């Protein structure tokens, strides 16, 4: 039986009125491990600025453990940490609480043994203007996180999102947004689009994904985290990003981001031509993603320029794992302006930073016309592959030799990531170590980054070979299956 001292994770029960909550636009909960028996819990809430100010004094949460919807055993009040403007009439509110015995709390997350805890926040109600819910005004907003303590043998924090939400989109124009999931403990992450919740694990009635074009529906890239979409209908659209956290092939936690995107017509943005953006001299096409290979001990530089012939205000932000590394981080600089802006990235990774897992980062461009309150935002996703041996810096979109599999080991599935030079048919063959063919899949690869989910639940434990073959290249890697 677990001690009640091992606690804190579940129902953040807000007690404000429905009229306040109709201006909520989303949020998430994360947990950071600070030291033995000490954690920092963060609740981030997004809301528009057109309604009654948010109640910042009475936000509380409850804690449960072991099961997602068990009764809570503690209620704790959050501390309000401040708010800031995100632009486009949206504000970000931050609430925090440090849980530890030294803080005088009787409920905290003990490191004495492995345990699962759940944070759940409920606030009534959602925005009545949401299009893709049946009765949004009567639906609660539920944010929930699963946090896992590993005992005295290690430590763990939940994943986080490095990018704020993009809250606006222009109808009939391609849209790209990357929440940039990241885990400081180097645990394997798997992200996907989920349904918004009204109660504990209970989806809001009538939910469907935001409506998009037939050729560009609302989808998330399982390798990079980038969400792409060409909206074809005006209105307020709800979406939820779920991020599962794996260690040793086992699911140990998750975080969820609930968010709202407002689709507007071009008149709302009051802007004409979209900016021309380049990456190292290459003009960025709609929703294009990039991948570069860097040999260890070699300097890598990336320069991005944005130009707008209408003279709108332009701005860059840069986010990603390379910039927050504890040792030898990458550096970046930005120059914002009217009609032009630029961003530069520099990094000389060391041999210990070489790995199979790619480093994800984004360059975010902002365009704002002086007469509009709304901002056009576009995320450009870049992946960096650091190799221990010098092979020359190159853009691996020109090759079909980079393979990445995760999680390791695999249990129910393995995510295969590869890049292709062209749109082409690609055959994926799974063999055991005796060379016997287990499965063959044929996929239509697109130029750039591709992702394929390989079912592994029916495979026996052990090592398997994956061979990828197209008209231009052939490459192989291994996967380890362990149930």
Sorting pLDDT into bands at 50, 70 and 90, what band is 410?
Answer: confident
Residue 469 lies in a domain: yes
Asked whether the predicted pLDDT for residue 260 surpasses 90, the reply is yes
pLDDT: which is higher, 21 or 186 = 186
Distance CA 436, CA 426 (A): 20
Mean pLDDT for the chain?
85
pLDDT: which is higher, 406 or 459 = 459
Are residue 338 and residue 358 in the same domain, yes or no? yes
Distance CA 444, CA 456 (A): 21
Residue 252: CA count within 13 A, CB half-sphere = 24
Residue 193: CA count within 13 A, CB half-sphere = 17
Sorting pLDDT into bands at 50, 70 and 90, what band is 399?
Answer: very low
Q: Quick one: three-class SS letters along the chain?
A: CCCCCECCCCEEECCCCHHHHCCEEEEEEEEEEEECCEEEEEEEEEEECCCCCCCCCCCEEEEEECCCCCCCCEEEECEEEEEEEEECCEEEEEEEEEECHHHCCCCECCCCCEEEEEEEEEEECCCCCECCCCCHHHCEEEEEEEEEEECCCCCCCCCEECCCCCCEEECCCCEEECCCEECCCCCEEEEEEECCEEECCEECCCCCCCCECCCCCCEECCCCCCEEECECCCEEEEEEEEEEEEECCEEEEEEEEEEEEEEECHHHHCCCCCCEEEECCEECCCCCCEEEEEECCCCEEEEEEEECCCCCEEEEEEEEHHHHCCCCCCEEEEECEECEEEEEEEECCCHHHCCCCCEEEEEEEEEECCCCCCCEEEEEEEEEEEECCCCCCEEHHHCCCCEEEECCCECCEEEEEEEECCCEEEEEEEEECCCCEEEEEEEEECCEEEEEEEECCCCCCEEEEEEEECCCCEEEEEEEECC
Dig out the tokens for 195 from the structure.
């349904």
Are β-strands 24-35 and 250-264 bridged in parallel, bridged antiparallel, or unpaired? antiparallel
Q: Residue 154: name the closest of 192, 112, 118, 182 by CA.
A: 112
Asked whether the predicted pLDDT for residue 391 surpasses 60, the reply is no
Rounded mean pLDDT, 281-288:
87
Q: Residue 200: name the closest of 256, 272, 284, 149 by CA.
A: 256
Are residue 387 and residue 407 in the same domain, yes or no? no
Residue 69 lies in a domain: yes
Sorting pLDDT into bands at 50, 70 and 90, what band is 78?
Answer: confident
Those residues with Cβ within 8 angstroms of residue 13's Cβ, 6 or more apart along the chain or in another chain = 60, 61, 62, 75, 121, 122
Residue 405 lies in a domain: yes
Sorting pLDDT into bands at 50, 70 and 90, what band is 409?
Answer: confident
Residue 93 lies in a domain: yes
Q: Quick one: three-class SS letters along 137-187?
A: HHCEEEEEEEEEEECCCCCCCCCEECCCCCCEEECCCCEEECCCEECCCCC
Q: In the prediction, which pLDDT does 19 show?
A: 37
Q: Residue 222: name the closest of 441, 420, 381 by CA.
A: 381
Sorting pLDDT into bands at 50, 70 and 90, what band is 16?
Answer: very low
Residue 223 lies in a domain: no
Among 346, 368, 395, residue at a domain's last position: 395
User: How many domains in the chain?
Assistant: 3
Asked whether the predicted pLDDT for residue 113 surpasses 90, the reply is no
Are residue 244 and residue 274 in the same domain, yes or no? no
Q: In the prediction, which pLDDT does 278 show?
A: 92
Are residue 240 and residue 303 in the same domain, yes or no? no
Are β-strands 462-469 and 474-481 bridged in parallel, bridged antiparallel, or unpaired? antiparallel
Q: In the prediction, which pLDDT does 57 show?
A: 77
Which of 25-34, 184-193, 385-394, 401-410 is predicted with the least confidence, judged by mean pLDDT? 385-394
Distance CA 479, CA 436 (A): 15
Sorting pLDDT into bands at 50, 70 and 90, what band is 8?
Answer: very low
Residue 391 lies in a domain: yes
Among 395, 427, 461, residue at a domain's last position: 395
Are residue 281 and residue 251 in the same domain, yes or no? no
Sorting pLDDT into bands at 50, 70 and 90, what band is 65?
Answer: confident
Are residue 280 and residue 404 in the same domain, yes or no? no
Residue 182 lies in a domain: no
Q: In the prediction, which pLDDT does 112 show?
A: 83
Are residue 249 and residue 285 in the same domain, yes or no? no
Are residue 316 and residue 420 in the same domain, yes or no? no
Distance CA 417, CA 425 (A): 15
Asked whether the predicted pLDDT for residue 313 surpasses 90, the reply is yes
Are residue 115 and residue 246 in the same domain, yes or no? yes
Tell me which residue range forms the domain holding 248.
Answer: 11-160+188-201+236-256
Q: Tell me, what CATH number does 408's domain have?
A: 2.60.40.1930
Q: In the prediction, which pLDDT does 222 show?
A: 84
Percent of the chain topping pLDDT 70: 89
C-alpha 117: how far from chain center: 21
Q: In the prediction, which pLDDT does 396 show?
A: 36
The 10s digit of each residue's pLDDT in 116-154 is: 888 888 888 898 999 999 999 999 999 999 999 888 778
The 10s digit of each residue's pLDDT in 325-377 is: 999 999 999 999 999 999 999 999 999 999 988 999 999 999 999 888 889 99
- Reported residue count of the chain is 483
Distance CA 253, CA 235 (A): 33
Are residue 290 and residue 424 in the same domain, yes or no? no
pLDDT: which is higher, 140 or 405 = 140
Which of 48-52, 173-177, 211-215, 267-271 is predicted with the least confidence, judged by mean pLDDT? 48-52
Are residue 242 and residue 384 in the same domain, yes or no? no
Q: In the prediction, which pLDDT does 67 show?
A: 66
Among 378, 395, 412, residue at a domain's last position: 395
Q: In the prediction, which pLDDT does 106 show?
A: 59
The 10s digit of each residue's pLDDT in 422-453 is: 778 899 999 888 778 999 999 887 776 677 87
Are residue 340 and residue 460 in the same domain, yes or no? no
Residue 179 lies in a domain: no
């Amino acid at each position: 039986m677990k001690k009640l001292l091992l606690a804190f994770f579940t129902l953040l029960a807000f007690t404000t009125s429905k009229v306040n909550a109709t201006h909520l636009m989303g949020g998430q909960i994360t947990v950071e491990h600070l030291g033995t028996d000490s954690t920092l819990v963060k609740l981030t809430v997004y809301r528009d600025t057109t309604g009654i100010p948010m109640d910042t004094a009475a936000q509380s949460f409850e804690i449960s453990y072991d099961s997602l919807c068990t009764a809570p055993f503690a209620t704790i009040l959050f501390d309000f940490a401040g708010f800031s403007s995100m632009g486009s009439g949206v504000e970000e509110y931050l609430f925090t609480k440090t849980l530890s015995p030294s803080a005088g709390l009787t409920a905290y997350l003990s490191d004495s043994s492995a345990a699962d805890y759940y944070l759940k926040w409920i606030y009534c109600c959602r925005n009545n203007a949401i299009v893709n819910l049946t009765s949004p005004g009567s639906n609660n907003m539920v944010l929930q996180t699963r946090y896992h303590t590993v005992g005295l043998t290690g430590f763990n924090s939940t994943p986080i999102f490095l990018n704020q939400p993009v809250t606006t989109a222009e109808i009939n124009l391609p849209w790209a947004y990357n929440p940039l999931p990241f885990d400081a403990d180097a645990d394997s992450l798997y992200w996907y689009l989920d349904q918004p919740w009204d109660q504990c694990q209970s989806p809001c009635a009538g939910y469907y994904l935001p409506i998009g074009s037939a050729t560009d529906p609302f989808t998330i890239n399982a390798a990079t985290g980038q969400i792409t979409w060409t909206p074809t209908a005006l209105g307020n659209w709800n979406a939820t990003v779920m991020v599962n956290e794996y260690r040793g092939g086992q699911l140990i936690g998750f975080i969820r981001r609930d968010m709202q995107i407002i689709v507007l017509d071009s008149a709302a943005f009051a802007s004409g031509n979209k900016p021309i953006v380049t990456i190292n001299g290459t003009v960025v096409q709609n929703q294009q993603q990039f991948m570069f290979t860097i040999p260890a001990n070699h300097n890598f530089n990336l320069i991005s320029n944005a130009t707008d012939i209408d003279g709108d205000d332009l701005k860059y932000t840069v986010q990603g794992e390379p910039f927050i590394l504890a040792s030898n981080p990458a550096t970046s600089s930005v120059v914002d302006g009217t009609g032009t802006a630029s961003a530069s990235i520099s990094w000389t990774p060391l041999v210990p930073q070489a790995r199979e897992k790619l480093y994800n980062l984004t360059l975010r461009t902002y365009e704002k016309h002086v007469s509009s309150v709304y901002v056009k935002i576009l995320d450009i996703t870049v992946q960096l592959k650091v190799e221990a041996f010098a092979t020359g810096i190159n853009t691996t979109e020109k090759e079909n030799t980079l393979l990445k599999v995760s999680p390791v080991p695999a249990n129910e599935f393995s995510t295969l990531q590869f890049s292709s030079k062209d749109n082409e048919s690609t055959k994926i063959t799974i063999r055991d170590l005796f060379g016997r063919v287990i499965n063959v899949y044929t996929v239509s690869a697109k130029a750039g980054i591709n992702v394929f989910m390989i079912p592994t639940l029916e495979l026996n434990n052990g090592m398997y070979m994956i061979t990828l073959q197209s008209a231009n290249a052939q490459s192989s890697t291994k996967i380890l299956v362990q149930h």
